[in-house]
Structure 1
Amino acid sequence: MRLKVLNLTYHPSRSPQIIRDDVTKLDKLPRRVAAILDLRDDDDENGGVDGLISDISELAAWLVLAGVPHLTIYEHDGVVKLHISELVRYVSKNLRLYFGTDSIPTFAVRVPHTNATAYSHPALGTNVDLTISVLSRVDGKPTILELTKTMSELAANKELSIKDISVELVDEELVELVGPEPDLLICFGPSLDLQNFPPWHIRLTEIYWEPGNTDVNYAVFIAALQQYSQCEMKVGK
Structure 2
Amino acid sequence: MYIIIYLSVYTYFQGQVAANSLYNGDIYSLAQRDTEHSSSHSRTPFPLHLPSKMVSQRDRELLRGDLRARSKLSTADRESLLKSYLPEDLSRPERRRPHKTPIRSFFKAQLHHLAYALTHIIFGIIVRLLQAYHAVVDRVFAIVYHHHRTPELIRKDVRGLKRLPQHLSTILTLRKEDDALAVLMDEVAELAAWSSCAGIPQLSIYEKTGVLKSCIPALHQIITTKLASYYGSPDQQPNLHLYAPHHPVHGSTTNPGKSTLTMLLLSSTDGRETIVDLTKTLAEMSQNGKLSPEDITPELVDAEISDITTQPLTAGTDTVLKPEPDLLLVFSPYLKLDGYPPWQIRLTEMYCTGSRSHGVNGDGEAVEYQGYMRGLWHFAGAQMRFGR
TM-score (norm 2): 0.57
The answer to whether 1:147 aligns with 2:278 is yes
SS at match of 1:124: coil
Cα shift at 1:13 = 2.4
Cα separation, 2, equivalents of 1:3 and 1:29: 27
- Cα RMSD (Å) of the superposition? 1.7
SS at match of 2:328: strand
Aligned pair partner of 1:218 in 364, 369, 383: 369
Cα separation, 2, equivalents of 1:78 and 1:2: 33
Q: Confirm or deny: 8 A CA contact 2:150 2:231 kept in the other structure.
A: no
SS at match of 2:249: strand
Letter in 2 for 1:54: D
Larger C-alpha radius of gyration, 1 or 2?
2
Cα shift at 1:42 = 2.7
Q: Confirm or deny: 8 A CA contact 1:184 1:228 kept in the other structure.
A: yes
Task: Quickly say closer, same or farther: Cα 1:5–1:166, change in 2 above 3 A.
Answer: same
Cα shift at 1:3 = 5.0
Cα shift at 1:11 = 2.2
Q: Which residue of 2 aligns with 1:66?
A: 198
Q: Which shows bigger deviation, 55-64 or 4-13?
A: 4-13
Cα separation, 2, equivalents of 1:153 and 1:52: 40
Q: Confirm or deny: 8 A CA contact 2:239 2:255 kept in the other structure.
A: no
Cα shift at 1:104 = 1.6
Q: Which residue of 1 aligns with 2:236?
A: 103
Q: Confirm or deny: 8 A CA contact 1:75 1:136 kept in the other structure.
A: yes
Q: Confirm or deny: 8 A CA contact 1:108 1:128 kept in the other structure.
A: no
Cα separation, 1, equivalents of 2:140 and 2:273: 41
Cα separation, 2, equivalents of 1:8 and 1:118: 38
Q: Stretches of 4+ moved more than 4 A in 1?
A: 125-128
- The structure where helix makes up a greater share of residues is 2
Task: Quickly say closer, same or farther: Cα 1:128–1:163, change in 2 above 3 A.
Answer: farther
Q: Confirm or deny: 8 A CA contact 2:173 2:365 kept in the other structure.
A: no
Cα shift at 1:32 = 0.3
Cα shift at 1:2 = 2.7
Q: Which residue of 1 aligns with 2:108?
A: none
**Residue deviations 1:74-129 (CA, integer Å, cap 9, x gap):** 000000011111111111111011111141222011111x232111x2x3389861
The answer to whether 1:93 aligns with 2:225 is yes
Q: Confirm or deny: 8 A CA contact 1:14 1:97 kept in the other structure.
A: yes
* Aligned pairs (5 A) from 1:1-237: 1-2=133-134, 4-9=136-141, 10-43=145-178, 47-101=179-233, 102-112=235-245, 114-119=246-251, 121=252, 123-124=253-254, 129-179=260-310, 180-210=323-353, 211=355, 212=358, 213-236=364-387
TM-score (norm 1): 0.92
Structure 2: runs of 5 or more not aligned: 1-132, 311-322, 359-363
